[in-house]
Chains A and B, each alone.
Chain A
Amino acid sequence: MMIPLEHYLIFAATLFAIGIYGALIRRNIIGILISIELMLNAVNVNLVAFSRSTSLAPETGQVFAIFVIAVAAASVAVGLAIVIALYRVRKSVYTEDIHLLKW
């Protein structure tokens, strides 16, 4: 017996919401990054669930998900490089210390 599509979707949506919550909440930049990772994973789950249930070619979703994983990895890499650079300059990884955009 299969798990109905809606459950997977709800699960992915919940994960996504938690990821957004983390992105909005975390004071640490790396914390924000890992929340973004969570969000991307939720999206992946969504994609795979959809491709399995509703699409004519079931591999589409997985191909897409692989691409997403690649992009996510790249983004993490670059993001962390930025964090390292920022840490070198500001000696801090907390968001409230980085407010150059403040009026």
Chain B
Amino acid sequence: MVTTSIYLIPLLPLMAFAVNILFGKKVGKQASAISIASSLLSCLCALPLIVAVAGGRRFSGEWLWLNLGIDQLKFGYLIDPLAATLLFVVTIVGTLIQIYSTGYMHGDPRYSRFFAYVSLFMSAMLTLVIANNLVLFFIAWEIMGLCSYLLIGFWFEKDSAANAGLKAFLTTRIGDVCFLIGIFSLFAAIGTLEFAKFEGALKGNSHVLIPVAALLFLCGTIGKSAQFPLHVWLPDAMEGPTPVSALIHAATMVAAGVYLIARTYPVFIASPAIMPVVAIIGTITAFMAAFIALTATDIKRVLAYSTISQLGYMVTALGLGGFTAGTFHLMTHAYFKALLFLGAGSVIHGTGTQDIRNLGGIFGKMKSTAITFLIASLAIAGVPPLSGFWSKDEVLSSAFHSGNMLIYAILLLTAFMTSFYMFRLVFLTFFGKARDHQIHAHESPNSMTVPLWILAVGAALLGLPASPWLHNWFQTFLTAGHAGGEHEINRMVMASSIGVALGGILLAAVMYLWVPALAGIAGKLFRPLYWLSIHKFWIDEIYDVCLIRPFLQIGKILYKFDERAVDGCVNGTGWITLLGGKMHNWCDHYIVDGLVNFVGALTQFLSRVTRRLQTGLIQNYLLIIFLGVLILIYFEMRS
């Protein structure tokens, strides 16, 4: 029973998608119910699985799709601890976000289509999670990219939303192409694409393509998980509805990149040269994103950069060998980031604005939102005993234990900045005096606040299974069979992480709650840094000049070529045909008609000549008769 239900996990949302997209008009308001029901059922199917895996069982199954000669392509699933973790995250968070969406998207004209896309996304994500080979993984990866595009540009009447969808799709596409080439090179290197067979195939294999494959997988992650340098799409992706931001761009899809590295970890372990690259990219991303978030003024932008930064943490952890750290942070991040986004959505729904400079003092009016938002902020800042503290501490300690002090220092600094900008956001939004008196905040409906509370519970408590208080149960669960990253508790690391967390909160309180003028002074004092931050390191502009404009130029040149050469050929053919026609016409006009006219003229001429015979004078006729008789006589005489 348990095994058959595994197929249902991705299948139910797919059916919900089909129903919603095909019968959207008829279904109307019930679309949300269908989607939520499918998601809930998937969740219910998944939970026994998770429990079973926790109990030590593994599930795998497959059936044949293509026979390639060397290897065979199969549809199949592999439920091991890693997959079970992700299932736990995706099903629960996904369901809660869909429940939230019923309230948020209430009254939208394309209600059923939204839920259709979300169901498709859920189906793809779940397929990705339980896939047992890279091909199926890649298929699901691509479908998720499509859903992301569709959902970011959901309100496509807004130019900015449509453009953002396109930007997201194109940017992640770069990563996806690298990923695909990586799959090819891995196949060429080890001849198999199934996750379960990686360790065996890689043992002792020193094929040159293995590090290449690892690097290309990293590129795929850079695209999908918005790492530097392909992070530019995520902030713009905030144009989509907030539940979309929460589900796709915080909790699940961006986590897929990290999941990719986790799934193909044996390949990375077998490429020791690539691991530092992973870590460096992750660190750069984490720091840069946090730096930009310091000066962002749109709630969702702050959270977007925060997501990029936390993803950088995860990638760094994986790059430093901290498999469990990265995965753990993935799990906790999903919950508190989803909560943060949903809370932001609730604020937007309640106040009608996204600019934190116009908000303030709405704590009293939106109690549920505010409290849950606060819990999530504490979690992301890393305040114990919330979940974020445990996972961030894991990451920091794996950085510390890897011996790379620079990375550790940067990560610590980033943690400080994280805490600072999160609480800057909190204080500016919820506390202090209201800056814009035209905003009348009101609490969101229950359909939106109940998921917030459930997620808050998760954000608060989810760290405990991995904490020392529960004997690091999570780490052992995860690494059964893997070379893991279990570390001893380093008190210094822990203390420093708590310290920076609290320090960040304090500084934010000082600058934004108690002495508001300080923010302006700090901005003027650190003018160059301020400029760097507010302009997002000018990365978008650099891309525009270096990449986008050249490509557009090439496009224009090719268009001109098409116009002149290709169309020229076509037009030339037409012109030649026309010329042929003209020649025909001339021929017809002068030669053929000339002949006809000539015949006519000849007839006229001859008739004019012979008309002279008819003189009307009888004597002429007589003469002719006489001459004729003479001729007859002559002939008679001859014969």
A and B touching (C-beta < 8 Å)? Answer: yes
Per the bound structure, the CA–CA distance linking A99 and B614 in Å amounts to 10
Per the bound structure, the CA–CA distance linking A40 and B614 in Å amounts to 28
Q: Which of B565-617 contact A (CB under 8 A)?
A: 611, 614-617
- Find B616's partner among A20, A24, A103 (CB 8 Å cutoff): A103
Let me know if B616 and A102 touch, CB within 8 A.
yes
B68 within 8 A of A: no
A101 within 8 A of B: yes
In this complex, what residue of A is CB-closest to B612?
Answer: A103
B23 within 8 A of A: no
Let me know if A103 and B618 touch, CB within 8 A.
no
Q: Which of A47-103 contact B (CB under 8 A)?
A: 95-96, 98-103
CB distance from B472 to the nearest CB of A (A): 132
What residues on A are CB-neighbors of B622 within 8 Å?
Answer: 23-24
A42 within 8 A of B: no
Let me know if B616 and A100 touch, CB within 8 A.
yes
What residues on A are CB-neighbors of B617 within 8 Å?
Answer: 95-96, 98-99, 102
In this complex, what residue of B is CB-closest to A99?
Answer: B616
In this complex, what residue of B is CB-closest to A103?
Answer: B614
Let me know if A95 and B615 touch, CB within 8 A.
no
Let me know if B626 and A102 touch, CB within 8 A.
no
A32 within 8 A of B: yes
In this complex, what residue of A is CB-closest to B615?
Answer: A102
The 8 A CB mask of B174-203 against A (1 = contact, 0 = none) is 000000000000000000000000000000
CB distance from A30 to the nearest CB of B (A): 14
Query: Secondary structure at chain B's binding surface: helix, strand, loop or mixed?
Result: helix
What residues on A are CB-neighbors of B626 within 8 Å?
Answer: 20, 24
Per the bound structure, the CA–CA distance linking A26 and B611 in Å amounts to 24
CB distance from A53 to the nearest CB of B (A): 23
Per the bound structure, the CA–CA distance linking A100 and B616 in Å amounts to 6
Let me know if B619 and A103 touch, CB within 8 A.
no
Per the bound structure, the CA–CA distance linking A58 and B175 in Å amounts to 142
Per the bound structure, the CA–CA distance linking A95 and B621 in Å amounts to 12
B623 within 8 A of A: yes
Number of interface residues of A (CB under 8 A): 14
CB distance from B25 to the nearest CB of A (A): 89
The 8 A CB mask of B333-376 against A (1 = contact, 0 = none) is 00000000000000000000000000000000000000000000
Let me know if A99 and B615 touch, CB within 8 A.
yes
Per the bound structure, the CA–CA distance linking A85 and B366 in Å amounts to 138
CB distance from A24 to the nearest CB of B (A): 5
CB distance from A23 to the nearest CB of B (A): 6
In this complex, what residue of A is CB-closest to B613?
Answer: A103
The 8 A CB mask of A17-48 against B (1 = contact, 0 = none) is 00010011110000010000000000000000
What residues on B are CB-neighbors of A98 within 8 Å?
Answer: 616-617
What residues on B are CB-neighbors of A23 within 8 Å?
Answer: 619, 622
What residues on A are CB-neighbors of B615 within 8 Å?
Answer: 99, 101-102
What residues on B are CB-neighbors of A32 within 8 Å?
Answer: 619
In this complex, what residue of B is CB-closest to A101?
Answer: B616
Let me know if A95 and B614 touch, CB within 8 A.
no
CB distance from B489 to the nearest CB of A (A): 136
The verdict on A103 contacting B623 (CB below 8 Å), with A95-B617, A96-B617 known, is: no
In this complex, what residue of A is CB-closest to B610?
Answer: A103
Let me know if B619 and A102 touch, CB within 8 A.
no
What residues on B are CB-neighbors of A103 within 8 Å?
Answer: 611, 614, 616
CB distance from B633 to the nearest CB of A (A): 12
What residues on A are CB-neighbors of B616 within 8 Å?
Answer: 98-103
Per the bound structure, the CA–CA distance linking A32 and B622 in Å amounts to 11
What residues on B are CB-neighbors of A101 within 8 Å?
Answer: 614-616, 618
In this complex, what residue of A is CB-closest to B629?
Answer: A20
What residues on B are CB-neighbors of A99 within 8 Å?
Answer: 615-617
What residues on B are CB-neighbors of A25 within 8 Å?
Answer: 619
What residues on A are CB-neighbors of B618 within 8 Å?
Answer: 95, 101
Per the bound structure, the CA–CA distance linking A100 and B615 in Å amounts to 9
Let me know if A24 and B623 touch, CB within 8 A.
yes
CB distance from B484 to the nearest CB of A (A): 125
Let me know if A95 and B611 touch, CB within 8 A.
no
Per the bound structure, the CA–CA distance linking A96 and B619 in Å amounts to 9
Q: Which of B255-294 contact A (CB under 8 A)?
A: none
What residues on B are CB-neighbors of A95 within 8 Å?
Answer: 617-619
Per the bound structure, the CA–CA distance linking A98 and B611 in Å amounts to 18
What residues on B are CB-neighbors of A96 within 8 Å?
Answer: 617
CB distance from A22 to the nearest CB of B (A): 11
What residues on B are CB-neighbors of A100 within 8 Å?
Answer: 616
Extra contacts besides A100-B616, A103-B611 (20): CB < 8 Å = A20-B626, A23-B622, A24-B619, A24-B622, A25-B619, A32-B619, A95-B617, A95-B618, A95-B619, A96-B617, A98-B616, A99-B615, A101-B614, A101-B615, A101-B616, A102-B614, A102-B616, A102-B617, A103-B614, A103-B616
Please report A residues at the B interface, Cβ cutoff 8 Å.
20, 23-26, 32, 95-96, 98-103
14 contacts between A and B (CB under 8 A): A23-B619, A24-B619, A25-B619, A95-B618, A95-B619, A99-B617, A100-B616, A101-B614, A101-B616, A102-B615, A102-B616, A103-B611, A103-B614, A103-B616
Q: Give the 9 A-B CB pairs with smallest separation, nearest first.
A: A102-B616, A99-B616, A101-B616, A103-B614, A24-B623, A103-B611, A99-B617, A24-B619, A24-B622
